[in-house]
Amino acid sequence: MTAQTKSRFALLVNAAPHGTRESRAELDVALAALSLDFAVDVYFNGAAVLQLARSMEAAEVLLPPGYRGWAALGDLGEARLFAETEWVRRCREQGIELIGPPRGLTAGEMACHWRACSTVWSL
């Protein structure tokens, strides 16, 4: 597929990074979509943006040691990261550096973005 014909896949990430396997499943879905030649938009809702904290240990988000996680998406294909503006601001104020970094959007802007995608998944 060329860049002009590539389908866009939206993934809505809702799970905070600690204590559940959802963060691993969401990452696996994003990686699978990239391997199928989709352009991938990932939307982190609320505290889910903490999955992008650069200082976070892989084991804390149930990833194998040394796994680059969300940071690897851009190396594998066309991927964009988005998060709620308020959460991006909170992280910045608390000195939490985010991988990407994600583009801040309001909830309404996020909804408009993901509705424009050809496929939308929420885990």
Per residue in 2-53, pLDDT tens? 445 679 999 999 887 765 666 678 888 999 999 999 999 999 999 889 888 8
Backbone angles phi, psi at 121, to 5 degrees: -125, 145
Hey, what are 29's tokens?
Answer: 């879905």
- For the chain, give the percent of residues with pLDDT over 90: 51
Determine the average pLDDT of the residues in 102-119: 93
- What gap in Å lies between CA 74 and CA 19, rounded to an integer? 26
Question: Domain limits of the chain?
Answer: 8-122
The predicted-structure confidence for 22-33, as pLDDT tens digits, reads as follows: 667 888 899 999
Tell me the CATH number for domain 8-122: 3.40.1260.10
